[in-house]
């Protein structure tokens, strides 16, 4: 095969519908349009199976398929000879096609009509480019490989997690032209992801949460596969994810004001890429756009590679975070904070922390803050190390693999955003202090 | 519009059509296809005469499929090129509404006049293929 499938992937973006020819056992040909052809690898594509129709009946009897696809860029046509292999009804390929189909359905006014029953995986036996002049492809806006190389080098130079996350988002904007992006980390026992960095939005949304399996981000995390949608889809929007999240909240959660998710209200293109370190899911890198079809297969490849680099970098930083050899910073004696005291309320069930009447944070980050303030009030301590926190039984950290640094970044950012009288200040690798600017009164309670 | 056929070993193939005409007695459909892109399909038609043809309107997704068993390959008759030209103009207007220009249509459907051949058949089955609950249902002639 001279022409590789990955060289004609623009034909599979759904701009010009593909058509498939099949043939029954008695030799009756059938021709039908397909909602979606998905690139699997250079030997396979998957066809969307939505209805039990003649195409479906035919391929069950006779696995030979002829597929016609057209490049929306050059208008060149390609005829593919396929052999049907099997159908997937769960898993990463199915979920990725299901999400894409939801976008396509919404775009063509077929929401509720188009429903993916399966991903029909086919081996590609031959690709034939049909004769024709074809239009000249316009020059690419940017070279994605060069962008990826620069970003990778920049990520490698980051010495701490906070810098690494910021650099990732800066690089996406500068080298990939991505205006809206966020990074979410996995809270494994909570089966949810929390936003730890974002750019492009009016409110940062730091601390907002997405349950696993909800929306583009939640599905990408659950299936550990990129999810890319080229058109607005209500089904995969996170407005709904958040609504469901709120609906499912228990009484303790209901006391809080959920931190609003920062994303666009009507994203036209969405791409969520899992951040993995080896097989372990660390979080999700999410980008979106207010224009249709903003992210191509090549963009997806680039971001998957970038997220892989990010995952490895997070993993390395995490494994070295606690073994800093720097001298501890000179301890600063806690100042006797003056002024009206702030009442810090802690709800044990959810580790939710309120400053006065304002909700600040919950979960592991809430538990960390409560522990720090407890030691500040009762032991006059201000200097802490990541290592002691990791070992502190009071925190009930979910797992040794849990990213404590990410929780501290989240907490630090929330304190700044809420203009809290408590701040976290890094004093060295694996060390930090808390700065408290008014008297603190602790109130431990349950709902 | 597109046309599919299969050889006697049950290997299907297909090609995009560039217009079609209907006989005066409304019994026969002729699809026009570029021979240079349809070599395999023409061979299948010559083998067994069985074809399937799909028509879809890009702006409404209304889709219909016809099937026939007696297809033959024929040269162009007088007026056929006018039909092809009219189809290209109509298709340009139609896809212009979904963002494609005349240059796109020319690249997709353009070919030398002497490359075009006709495939004539009598439809003996017709199906509604518009996405939705009625997809796949036979189309029946109005009583």
Q: Give B-chain residues touching A108 at CB under 8 angstroms.
A: 61
Question: Do residue B54 and residue A77 have CB atoms under 8 angstroms apart?
Answer: no
CATH of domain A144-321: 3.30.450.40
CA atoms A115, A119, A122, A124: torsion sign: positive
Q: Which residues of A186-197 are buried (b: 16+ CB within 10 A; e: fewer)?
A: bbbeeebbbbbb
Helices A363-379/A404-417 angle, 10° precision: 80
Predicted TM-score of the model (pTM): 0.88
Contacting residues for A52 by C-beta, under 8 A, at least 6 apart: A117
Q: Which fold has domain B2-128?
A: Pnp Oxidase; Chain A (2.30.110)
State the complex-level ipTM: 0.96
- Give pLDDT tens digits for A108-128: 777 777 889 999 999 999 999
Report pLDDT digits (tens) over A97-109.
998 888 878 777 7
For chain A, where do the domains classified as CATH 2.30.110.10 start and end? 5-129
Q: Out of A30, A70, A131, whose CB is closest to B4?
A: A30
Strand locations in A290-387 (E): 342-347, 352-355, 358-361, 383-385
For the segment A292-298, the average pLDDT, to the nearest whole number, is 92
What is the tens place of the pLDDT at every residue in A234-254?
Answer: 777 665 445 444 444 444 444
Q: How many CB pairs under 8 A join A and B?
A: 112
- What pLDDT sits at residue A247? 46
- The token pair at A137 is 């492809």
Query: Which chain A positions have a beta carbon within 8 Å of B91's beta carbon?
Result: none
Give the rounded distance of the alpha carbon of A179 from its chain centre: 15
Query: Is the Cβ pair A29, B110 closer than 8 Å?
Result: no
The third-level CATH classification (topology) of the domain covering A5-129 is Pnp Oxidase; Chain A (2.30.110)
In the block, which residue shows the tokens 């040794």?
A400
Q: Give the fold, CATH level 3, of A342-445.
A: Arc Repressor Mutant, subunit A (1.10.10)
Q: Does the distance separating the beta carbons of B15 and A29 come in below 8 Å?
A: no
Q: Closest partner residue to A75 among B2, B53, B104, by Cβ?
A: B104
Please check the confidence at residue A44 and state whether its pLDDT lies above 50.
yes
Kind plus residue range of the DSSP H or E element containing A286: strand A280-289
Find out whether A39 and A48 touch, Cβ atoms under 8 Å.
no
**Cβ–Cβ below 8 Å for B14 and A75:** no
The closest of B12, B118, B129 to B66, measured between CA atoms, is B129
User: Distance, in angstroms, between A240 CA and closest chain B CA?
Assistant: 25
Query: Which residues of A fall within a CB distance of 8 Å from B70?
Result: none
Tens-place pLDDT, residues A351-392? 999 999 899 999 899 999 999 999 999 999 999 999 899 888
């Amino acid at each position: 095969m001279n022409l590789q499938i990955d060289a004609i992937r623009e034909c599979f973006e759904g701009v010009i519908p593909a058509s498939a020819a099949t043939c029954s056992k008695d030799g009756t040909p059938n021709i039908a349009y397909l909602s979606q052809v998905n690139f699997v690898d250079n030997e396979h594509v998957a066809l969307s199976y939505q209805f039990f129709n003649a195409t479906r009946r035919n391929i069950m009897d006779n696995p030979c398929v002829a597929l016609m696809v057209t490049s929306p860029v050059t208008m060149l046509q390609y005829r593919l000879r396929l052999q049907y292999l099997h159908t997937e009804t769960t898993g990463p390929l199915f979920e990725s096609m299901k999400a894409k189909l939801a976008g396509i359905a919404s775009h063509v006014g077929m929401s509720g009509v188009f429903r993916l029953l399966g991903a029909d995986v086919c081996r590609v036996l031959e690709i034939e480019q049909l004769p024709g002049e074809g239009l000249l492809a316009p020059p690419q806006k940017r070279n994605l490989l060069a962008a990826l190389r620069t970003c990778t080098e920049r990520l490698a130079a980051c010495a701490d997690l906070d810098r690494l996350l910021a650099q990732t988002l800066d690089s996406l904007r500068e080298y990939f032209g991505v205006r809206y992006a966020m990074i979410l980390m996995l809270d494994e026992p909570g089966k949810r992801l929390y936003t730890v960095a974002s750019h492009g939005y009016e409110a940062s949304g730091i601390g907002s949460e997405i349950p696993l399996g909800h929306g583009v981000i939640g599905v990408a995390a659950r299936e550990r596969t990129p999810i890319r949608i080229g058109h607005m889809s209500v089904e995969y929007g996170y407005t709904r994810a958040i609504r469901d999240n709120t609906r499912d909240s228990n009484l303790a959660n209901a006391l809080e004001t959920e931190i609003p998710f920062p994303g666009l209200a009507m994203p036209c293109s969405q791409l969520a890429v899992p951040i993995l370190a080896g097989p372990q899911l660390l979080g999700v890198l999410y980008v979106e756009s207010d224009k249709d079809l903003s992210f191509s297969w090549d963009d997806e490849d680039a971001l998957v590679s970038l997220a892989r680099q990010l995952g490895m970098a997070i993993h390395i930083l995490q494994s070295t975070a606690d073994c800093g050899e720097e001298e501890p910073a000179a301890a600063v004696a806690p100042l006797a904070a003056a002024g009206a005291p702030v009442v810090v309320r802690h709800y044990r069930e959810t580790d939710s922390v309120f400053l006065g009447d304002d909700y600040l944070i919950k979960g592991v980050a809430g538990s960390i803050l409560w522990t720090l303030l407890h030691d500040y009030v009762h032991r006059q301590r201000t200097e802490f190390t990541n290592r002691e926190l990791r070992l502190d039984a009071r925190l009930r950290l979910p797992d040794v693999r849990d990213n404590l640094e990410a929780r501290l970044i989240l907490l630090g950012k929330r304190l700044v955003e809420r203009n809290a009288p408590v701040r976290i200040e890094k004093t060295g690798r694996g060390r930090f202090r808390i700065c408290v600017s008014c008297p603190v009164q602790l109130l431990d309670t349950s709902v | 519009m597109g046309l599919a056929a299969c050889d006697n070993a049950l290997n299907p193939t297909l090609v995009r059509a560039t217009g079609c005409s209907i006989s005066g007695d409304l019994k026969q459909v002729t699809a026009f296809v570029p021979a240079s892109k349809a070599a395999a399909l023409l061979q299948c038609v010559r083998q067994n005469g069985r074809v399937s043809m799909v028509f879809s309107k890009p702006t409404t997704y209304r889709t219909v499929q016809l099937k026939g068993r007696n297809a033959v390959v024929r040269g162009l008759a007088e007026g056929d090129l006018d039909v092809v030209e009219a189809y290209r103009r109509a298709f340009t207007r139609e896809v212009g509404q979904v963002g494609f220009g005349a240059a796109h249509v020319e690249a997709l459907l353009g070919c030398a006049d002497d490359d075009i051949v006709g495939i004539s058949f009598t439809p003996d089955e017709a199906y509604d293929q518009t996405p939705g609950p009625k997809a796949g249902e036979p189309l029946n002639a109005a009583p």
